[in-house]
Structure 1
Amino acid sequence: MTAQIEPTSRYHLRVERVKKIVMEDTKLSDTKALALAVRMVHELDTVPEPVR
């Protein structure tokens, strides 16, 4: 039996939100959409605060 883990941190919530958007607009699988979402959130987190 496999239970799905609910995202608990703000980071995981952001990744899940981006993954959902990616999956709505592309034909990527769940795994690939998650990998892309992680990369996107990481890149956004590295943008300096004054630029955001």
Structure 2
Amino acid sequence: MAVETVYVSHYDRRIRLVADALTQNSKLADEAAVELAKHVLNALDHIPEKVR
């Protein structure tokens, strides 16, 4: 019997991690948290490594 695995990209895992943190600590709906998480990660990705 073959077991299918679902591929989840590293980016999608990061989005889910941030979105979960946002929904646990606010009254945001999941969809809004995911959209906000995308903006947060985009901003974090553009901070130079030396500054982070």
Please give the per-residue CA displacement for 1:26-46, whole angstroms capped at 9, x wherever unaligned. Answer: 111111111111100110001
Gaps of 5+ in 2: 1-5
| Residue in structure 1 matched with residue 32 of structure 2 by the alignment | 32
| Residue in structure 2 matched with residue 10 of structure 1 by the alignment | 10
Greater Rg by CA:
2
Query: How many residues are aligned here?
Result: 47
| Residue in structure 2 matched with residue 51 of structure 1 by the alignment | 51
CA contact (8 A) 1:19 1:36 kept: yes
Normalising by structure 2, what TM-score?
0.80
User: Residue 50 of structure 2 aligns to a residue in which SS?
Assistant: coil
Q: CA deviation at 1:8?
A: 1.4
Q: CA deviation at 1:48?
A: 0.6
Q: Percent identity of the aligned residues? A: 34
Normalising by structure 1, what TM-score?
0.80
